[in-house]
Amino acid sequence: MINNTIGSLPAAGNTDSPRLLALMTRERWIEVARVFVTGLVALLYAQGIVAVPVLWFAVAVGLYPLVKTGVLDLVHEHKIGTEIFVTVATLVAVFGGETVAGAVLMVIILIAEFIADLNTDRARASIKALIGSVPQVAVRRGEDGEKTVPIGELKVGDLVLVRPGEKIPVDGRVVLGQGSVNEAPITGESVPKDKNIDAAVFAGTVVESGALDIRTERLGRDTTFARIIALVEDAEAEQAPVQKLADKVAAWLIPVVFLFLIGVYFVTRDVRTIVTLMIFTSPAELSLATPLVMIAAIARAARSGILIKGGIYLETLAKVTVVVFDKTGTLTANRPQVVQVASYSPSFDDNALLRLAAAADRRSAHPLAKAVVAAANQRGITIPEPESFEQLQGRGVKARVEGRIALVGNAELLRENGVAFGATVEDGSRTPIHIAVDGAFVGVIFVADTIRAGAVEALAELRANGVQRLVMLTGDNPATATALAAELGIDDVRANLLPADKVAAIAELQRQGHRVAMVGDGINDAPALAKADVGIAMGGAGTQAALEAADIALMTDDLGKIAAARAIARRAYRTVQENLIVGVGVVHVLGITAALLGWIGPIEAAIIHLGPDVLVFINSVKLLTVRIKGA
């Protein structure tokens, strides 16, 4: 687990893996010295320069950390780990007459373990290096002028000045100035964004041009940056099923191996063969095969503005067969506009109808309601305050406006309230908002939304990545939903759905044997996101609900990130399989075969043993740099 504080993270923009020298702690230098001394004594003994007791002492010094770790694991976790395995192999060799082989074996295995441990920490540290850091001081502006203060002294509401080239220290909104901000540490997008008055900005991002006065809204661990760091740090604890399986296999493999070795010894009575076999039956690489991949994949995704909360979700995403989308705000740009007002009552002209609907909708946060209110404001219509208001999930609103009961929403809302009207007013490319007053149908307001940029390409890429079926679930009317689905190439459309209906639809797909990913905004779709095998929230930057509701959060509203996340997941899962089959299985099977045939001895086996470690490491960390479309 990564336990460093936010302030100690490397600078943003450093996307290279940390240098190995920076990871060389005092304890690691002691380990290097221990391995060097043991190896030197073994060499001197082989040359007849030192006596056996000196060699035994050197072996004891070299084995100490392995014995300590192995015993602690045995006592506290009741498991026989690799350390115990290596210790037994070394002791068998030393006391079985293969003294030099035992010492060389221990040195080589210690080197392998050291390299593996160092590079695992290097992969973990790369997560921090990929994301960045926040400054520890800020320029606060007040009545007494400008003053540089530690971040800990800032309070919500304080005014902070950020100049060109400086990092923004807080989450907040621009109250003065304009500029260009590089938000790559948050969103993964390298193209800077222009910021003007009232624009939201995030801690850890960089002002590339202009100067901004920012009103502080969130500080420290409440900032979006801090939440991202916390999520990525916690992700390592959420093990993938294949990782749990590898741990279980390693746990029962060691006792099985010991029984196998005892059987071979009774047949051959050859200590040299037993020592050689012990090297190739060590489960060390099995425990490395998955964690390194998951750490590297999560780091790569974080660099791209994709937060994956654990290896379990990474593996599940790789196996997903169906991707389900919400419509409004996910497949569409969530900027609906009123395109037509149609009155069906002589008591209401178009403006009167729009005024009534806007009054009923003014307390609603739904995008369609906001579009109605915006249209009334654009026409200069004075919007009265409703005397009562009720939001009806998946239907619309019910409000009392100037003494009259108004229903504003879809056709189902009117039907459920016994309002009679003719044929359902539907238009394939537009969403109709039906309006009734005191139980009588009075008109329709048509609202149109645009397809989100890149949606067609993103869905096509998902198909290319093995997704069998694309589904849209929406509370909108069937005609509008069907028209949009046809334009996007979606297979299945289910309209007029309440939040509970979306959950039921996902459950039905799961009963059919599908692995289901649900893509939504992380707020209205929280139940469906939770029900799906993998919940993916769009636009998590600055949205606490989106970060908490989903298993994967996209820091931008770019649908292409979904395809990129899927590609990273599939590449990671394939890498794990390669590690287990080639890096562990093939090499070890060949080594065991060669040992049983007497082709190699302990020293040759110890040297060859480095091969799987190197293969597993190189194959795993390449996920940080290999070309993946969209990442």
- Compute the distance between CA of residue 357 and CA of residue 10 in angstroms, rounded to an integer: 53
- Compute the distance between CA of residue 13 and CA of residue 206 in angstroms, rounded to an integer: 10
Report DSSP letters for 98-127, one per residue: -HHHHHHHHHHHHHHHHHHHHHHHHHHHHH
Residue 461 belongs to domain with CATH number = 3.40.50.1000
As averages over each run of 10 residues, the pLDDT of the chain (631 residues) reads 33 44 78 85 84 85 81 72 73 76 74 70 60 76 86 90 90 90 73 86 87 90 76 59 58 75 87 82 67 82 83 88 88 83 89 94 87 93 92 88 93 89 65 91 88 88 91 84 87 86 92 92 74 84 62 84 92 86 75 87 76 76 78 66
- Compute the distance between CA of residue 362 and CA of residue 342 in angstroms, rounded to an integer: 20
Whether residue 279 is contained in a domain is answered as yes
What's the confidence (pLDDT) of residue 240?
A: 52
What's the confidence (pLDDT) of residue 151?
A: 86
CA-based nearest residue to 521, from 258, 262, 334: 334
Whether residue 502 is contained in a domain is answered as yes
Check whether residue 197 and residue 59 sit in a common domain. Answer: no
Domain end (from 220, 251, 273): 220
Check whether residue 320 and residue 457 sit in a common domain. Answer: yes
What's the confidence (pLDDT) of residue 375?
A: 93
Angle between helix 478-488 and helix 455-464 axes, rounded to 10 deg? 60
- Identify the domain containing residue 540 by its residue range: 308-331+452-562
Residue 210 belongs to domain with CATH number = 2.70.150.10
- Compute the distance between CA of residue 436 and CA of residue 342 in angstroms, rounded to an integer: 13
Check whether residue 251 and residue 348 sit in a common domain. Answer: no
Contact criterion met (CB below 8 Å) for 114 and 23: no
| 283 φ, ψ (degrees, to nearest 5) | -90, 20
Contact criterion met (CB below 8 Å) for 310 and 301: no
End-to-end, the C-alpha distance of the chain in Å comes to 24
pTM passes above 0.75: no
Whether residue 609 is contained in a domain is answered as yes
Check whether residue 365 and residue 493 sit in a common domain. Answer: no
Summary count for the chain: helices (H), strands (E): 22, 20
What's the confidence (pLDDT) of residue 590?
A: 86
The residue count for the chain: 631
What's the confidence (pLDDT) of residue 600?
A: 86
Whether residue 113 is contained in a domain is answered as yes
What's the confidence (pLDDT) of residue 234?
A: 64
Strands laid side by side in the 396-401 sheet: 337-343, 440-448, 431-437, 404-409, 396-401, 388-392
CA distances from 90 to 406, 597, 605, 611 (A): 84, 21, 13, 19
What's the confidence (pLDDT) of residue 10?
A: 33
Domain end (from 543, 562, 581): 562
Check whether residue 287 and residue 327 sit in a common domain. Answer: no
Whether residue 162 is contained in a domain is answered as yes
Indicate the number of domains in the chain.
Answer: 4
Whether residue 270 is contained in a domain is answered as yes
3-state DSSP assignment of residue 141: strand
Check whether residue 529 and residue 478 sit in a common domain. Answer: yes
CB atoms under 10 Å from CB of 617, counted, come to 23
**Cross-strand pairs, 141:** 146, 159
Residue 375 belongs to domain with CATH number = 3.40.1110.10
In a 13 Å sphere around the CA of 32, the CA atoms on its Cβ side amount to 10
Tokens of 292: 């390194």
Angle subtended at Cα 31 by Cα 30 and Cα 32, rounded to the nearest 5 degrees: 90
Check whether residue 281 and residue 150 sit in a common domain. Answer: no
Active-site residue set: 326
Domain end (from 419, 448, 477): 448
- Compute the distance between CA of residue 92 and CA of residue 88 in angstroms, rounded to an integer: 6
Check whether residue 178 and residue 326 sit in a common domain. Answer: no
Whether residue 175 is contained in a domain is answered as yes
Check whether residue 117 and residue 243 sit in a common domain. Answer: yes
- Residue identified by tokens 């007013």 is 425
Check whether residue 253 and residue 288 sit in a common domain. Answer: yes
Contact criterion met (CB below 8 Å) for 358 and 375: yes
- Residue identified by tokens 């100035």 is 177
3-state DSSP assignment of residue 334: coil
Check whether residue 112 and residue 142 sit in a common domain. Answer: no
- Compute the distance between CA of residue 565 and CA of residue 314 in angstroms, rounded to an integer: 8
- Compute the distance between CA of residue 443 and CA of residue 433 in angstroms, rounded to an integer: 9
Check whether residue 386 and residue 288 sit in a common domain. Answer: no
CA-based nearest residue to 295, from 584, 616, 627: 616
Whether residue 226 is contained in a domain is answered as no
